[in-house]
Structure 1
Amino acid sequence: MSTIKVKDGTEIYYKDWGTGQPIVFHHGWPLSSDDWDAQMMFFVNQGFRVIAHDRRGHGRSGQASEGHNIDTYAADVAELVAALDLRDAIHIGHSTGGGEVIRYVAKYGKDRVAKAVLISAVTPLMIQNEQNPDGVPLAVFDEIRKGTGFTRAQYFYDFPIAFYGWNREGKTIEEGLRHNWWRQGMSGSVKAHYEGIKAFSETDLSEDLKAATVPVLVLHGEDDQIVPFTQAPKAAALLSNGKLIAYPGFPHGMPTTEAETINNDILAFIKS
């Protein structure tokens, strides 16, 4: 396997295929780089170099005890990017990966990033508080913590139903996708997944969005049951060079269920 060892000794697994302008994919909680199969195959066949890593504690990366926060996630990416000497790169993040992307772009991306894409992203802030009254209540995240930490196998088997919008009228559960989601989740560290909930729900990424100077595309499904669509307009409004595309009826996991649409919209953005 291809891995690098970051400064605290954690091994980070990554895939690196093709040649050309690099596209770096950042997966969502609690999955792995395998969640980008539909995008990596599409873009490598379009002549791009595609790279995707498993976040620390996820997939095939090391199950470190510490560092399950957005700052460390972004620092790990910076080390991977430096090790591969990636320049003029497009960084694409889904869900938690969107938070990782914008923190990386703001803190480390100068002279290395060409554009960024935030898909169903947790930006700017998910949790409900005085500054974010229409956010998601803490009780929701406590329920996710309870299921993840103590009944993970069953909880992760049930979670994809809302993730992919299969609980909507006329939708049918796709068993292959459901089992693939479960496989990815269960391959990671329960401690990393448990602590990552605080990272994706309570990290305020408003200043990172404001600091981003490269073009940023925000994609969000209007029927997202995991990260509410209300996040997307707020994120786009904080960007100095942002564009929002909203998709009526699309679920949180739209890079998988609606791959053709998402891939073509990203390709058009890259070429624009």
Structure 2
Amino acid sequence: MPFITTRDGTDIYYKDWGLKSGPVVTFSHGWPLSSDNWEHQMFFLSAKGYRCIAHDRRGHGRSSQPWSGNEMDTYSDDLFQLFEHLDLKDAMMVGHSTGGGEVARFVGRHGTSRVSKAVLISSVPPLMVKTATNPGGLPIEVFDGFRAGLLKDRAQFFLDIPSGPFFGFNREGAQVSQGMIQSWWLQGMTCGFNGAYDCVKALSETDFTEDLKKMDIPVLVLHGDDDQVVPIGASAQMSSKLVPKGTLKVYHGGAHGLPNTEADRVNQDLLEFLES
């Protein structure tokens, strides 16, 4: 399995699919998942001639589980080192949920010299937590509840999330996929415990406002209007206005896990944006 070792000694696992000479698309996954959650998109685009690269964030999946560095600056620096290692250029970056924050912070810290476009799917920017200047955010108690659930019974908590709000399976008439639930659970349980715990703060309390303003490339924002994890009003509707060249596309009735529940539609939207 391919790994890179970062400057602080953390091993980062990555997948590199498709033609090495093809246009590059990178994928940043959500909490507490791994690069496996992008398999539908990576297979689809690789078959279309693109080079698709996805990594397991530090503390997640097959990457190392360091005690430190589980925050957005280091996440984005790890990804930049992967770009340097593979000499990636003119890439379209795609991020889901926490991964969207990683993409925004990557651009905020490292610029767009290696990036041509970006896609934020069900993503956490500009800021998840409610503050005096962000009254539409979620109360800190929501994220305290995440941490409490991890500490009390992580295995059960990681069943409850995909069984309910993540995929919208708690909605009346929803077609529940036990396979999606079990895949989410398996990916979540491979996440290091402290990595999962620390990442809650990273995804909820990091302010990406200034990062978004620096995204001087075309940015496509995809979000479901029934997202129970990252409500659209405090995220996509604001992010799409903060980026200089943003386009918002709303999935009516869409839940948080769009790359899974709306895989075919997401695939087509990514392809159209790539080819535009």
Q: How would you bin the TM-score normalised by the shorter chain?
A: over 0.9
AA at the equivalent of 1:247: Y
The alpha carbon displacement at 1:133 in A equals 0.5
Query: Is 1:43 aligned to 2:55, yes or no?
Result: no
Say whether the 8 Å CA contact 1:119–1:219 is kept in structure 2.
yes
* Cα distance in 2, alignment partners of residues 124 and 67 from structure 1: 21
1:140-155 → structure 2 map (5 Å cutoff) = 140-155=142-157
The CA deviation at 1:51 is 0.3
Cα RMSD, aligned residues only:
0.7
Equivalent of 1:250, from 248, 254, 259?
254
Q: Any conservation in 2 of the 1:149–1:191 contact (CA below 8 Å)?
A: no
Other structure's SS at 1:246 match = strand
Give the drift of 1:125: 0.3
Q: Give the C-alpha shift of residue 109 in structure 1.
A: 3.6
Residue among 80, 87, 90 paired with 1:88: 90
Structure 2 gaps of 5+ residues are none
TM-score, scaled to structure 2: 0.97
The equivalent position to 1:212 in structure 2, one of 202, 210, 215, is 215
Following the alignment from structure 1 to structure 2, what is the Cα–Cα distance between the partners of residues 149 and 189? 13
CA drift of 1:242 comes to: 0.6
Distance 1:119 1:90 in 2: 13
Query: Bigger CA drift: 119-128 or 166-175?
Result: 166-175
Q: Are positions 1:186 and 2:193 aligned together? A: no
2:266 is equivalent to residue 262 of structure 1: yes
For each residue in 1:203-250, what CA deviation from the matched residue of structure 2 results, as whole angstroms up to 9, or x when unmatched?
A: 000000001111110000000000001111100110101100011100
Structure 2: distance between partners of 1:253 and 1:149: 24
Residue 230 of structure 2 is aligned to residue 227 of structure 1: yes
Task: Give the total of aligned pairs.
Answer: 272
Q: Which amino acid aligns with 1:224?
A: D
Instruction: Quote the residue 2:161 is aligned against.
Output: 159
Task: Tell me, in whole angstroms, the C-alpha distance in 1 between the residues paired with 2:248 and 2:272.
Answer: 13
Q: Residues 46-85 of structure 1: matches in 2 within 5 Å?
A: 46-85=48-87
* 1:170 match: 173
Deviation at 1:107, TM superposition (A): 1.8
Matched-pair contact (CA < 8 Å) for 1:95–1:120: yes
How far apart, in 2, do the equivalents of 1:172 and 1:78 lie? 39
Checking the alignment, whether the CA contact within 8 Å between 2:112 and 2:215 is kept in structure 1 is: no
Q: Distance in 2 between matches of 1:39 and 1:105?
A: 22
Identity %: 52
* Aligned equivalent of 1:7: 7
Query: Cα distance, 1:90 vs. partner?
Result: 0.5
Q: Give the distance between the partners of 1:102 and 1:119, measured in 2 at CA.
A: 12
- Once residues 123 and 37 of structure 1 are traced to their aligned partners in structure 2, the CA distance between those partners, rounded to angstroms, is 24
Residue matched to 1:130: 132
Q: Partners in 2 of 1:244 and 1:39 — Cα distance?
A: 20
Aligned partner letter, 2:126: P
